[in-house]
Amino acid sequence: MTALLEVEAVGKVFGGLVAVSDVSFTLAQGEIVGLMGANGAGKTTLFNLISGAMAPTSGRVRFEGCAIEGRRPDEICRRGIGRTFQIVKPFPGMTVAENVAVGVLYGARRRTPSAREVAAETDAVLAEMGLSAMRDKLAGELTLAGRKRLEVARALASRPKLLMLDEVMAGLTPIEAAGALDMLRQVHETRGTTMLVVEHNLRAMMQLCQRIVVMHHGEKIGEGPPEVVIRDEKVIQAYLGAQA
C-alpha cells in the first residue's frame, strides 16, 4: 500500500514547552489509524500540525507525496484533509443543510459545483449521516451527539481523502457512542476514506482501528495493531498505569 500521509520527525515547541517531539508515522490509503494518549500527550497538537492550524517547529508532513507543513488550513483542506474538533465547532446560526453545503462548496473539488450539484450532494451526505430530518434546524439547536455527527458530515462533504476525527465519541452516552462507531464504520465501508482517529474510548479504538499510534508527553512510545499495542509494557506503564 502507498502512503497517503507521512509524518516525519515532526516536533512542536511552545516557548519552553515541548508539545510534540520527533513523531513519525505513516498512513496508507484506506487505513484507519488510532492516535492514543493521555490528556496532554500532544494528540490534538499533532492534529493541528497536520491540518495546518499550526506550523511545526521541526520535521515534515507529506500528503500524497507533497510537503504540506506550514501551509494554510484551507489549502490543506482543499488538498483532501478534513477534520473534526475535540470541542465541536459547527456553524450554530446556520441550518444543518447549510453547514454541510459549506463543505460541498469549499472542499476538495477541481471546480466550483453548480447550485444543483451542491443541493444533490448536500442531500446525499445528510442522508448518509442520518441528518435528513434535521436539515432545516439550526446547528446550534442540535444535541452534542447531533453536532458531532454534523461535524463529520461537514468534513465528509468536503470529500476528504483523509478524515481526521478528534474525539468524536467524547461526551456521548454509550448508546450514542455505539451509533457513532457504526456510522464511522459505514463511512469507511462505503467511501473507503482513510481515517486518523483520536479517541479515549479504548473499546471503540480496538473495534475501529487497524493500527494504533500511542503518544506520551509529546513522544511516540508505541505503534502497531491494537491487540499488540495494549499489551506493550511501555504503553501500559505510560498510558494505562503501572498497575494495570
Partner 1 sequence: MKAPSWFAGPIGGALVVALLAAFVVPGMAGDYGIEFATTLVLWIALVQSWVILSGYTGYVSLGHAAFVGAGAYVFILTWGAVPFWFGLVAAGFTSGLLALIVGGPCLRVRGPYFVILTLGVAEFVKYAVINIEASLGKFGRLMIGTPEPVDIYRMAVGLAAIAFVMALVARYSRFGVGLRAIRENEVAAEMTGIRVRWLKVGAFGLSALVPGVVGALMICRTGYFEPLQMFSPQLSLTIITMCVAGGSDNPWGPLIGALFLNILSELLWDSAPELYTVILGVVLVFVVLRMPEGIYGTAVKRLARRSRKAVPGETTP
Binder among 60, 78, 191, 200 for partner 1 (CB under 8 A): 78
Q: Among candidates 193, 95, 187, 192, which has minimal Cα distance to 150?
A: 95
Quote the CA–CA distance of 13 and 91 in Å, as a whole number: 31
Part of the chain binding partner 1 (CB under 8 A), chosen from 4-12, 55-63, 96-104, 234-242? 96-104
- 157, 146 Cβ separation under 8 angstroms: no
Shortest Cβ 233–partner 1 spacing (Å): 37
- 9, 60 Cβ separation under 8 angstroms: yes
Between 75 and 231, name the residue whose CB sits nearer to partner 1.
75
β-pairing verdict for 211-216 and 32-36: parallel
Q: Among candidates 30, 62, 65, 68, which has minimal Cα distance to 196?
A: 30
Residues between 44 and 63 that touch partner 1 (CB under 8 A): 51-53
Binding mask 135-164 for partner 1 (x = CB under 8 A): --x---xxx-xx--x----xx--x------
Part of the chain binding partner 1 (CB under 8 A), chosen from 4-12, 35-43, 113-121, 204-212? 113-121
Binder among 19, 68, 77, 235 for partner 1 (CB under 8 A): 77
The H or E element containing residue 213 is strand 211-216
Both ends of the chain: CA-CA distance in Å? Answer: 35
Q: Kindly list the residues in this chain that would bind partner 1 in the complex (CB under 8 A).
A: 51-53, 72-74, 77-78, 82-83, 85, 89-94, 97-98, 101-103, 105-108, 112, 115, 118-119, 130-131, 133-134, 137, 141-143, 145-146, 149, 154-155, 158
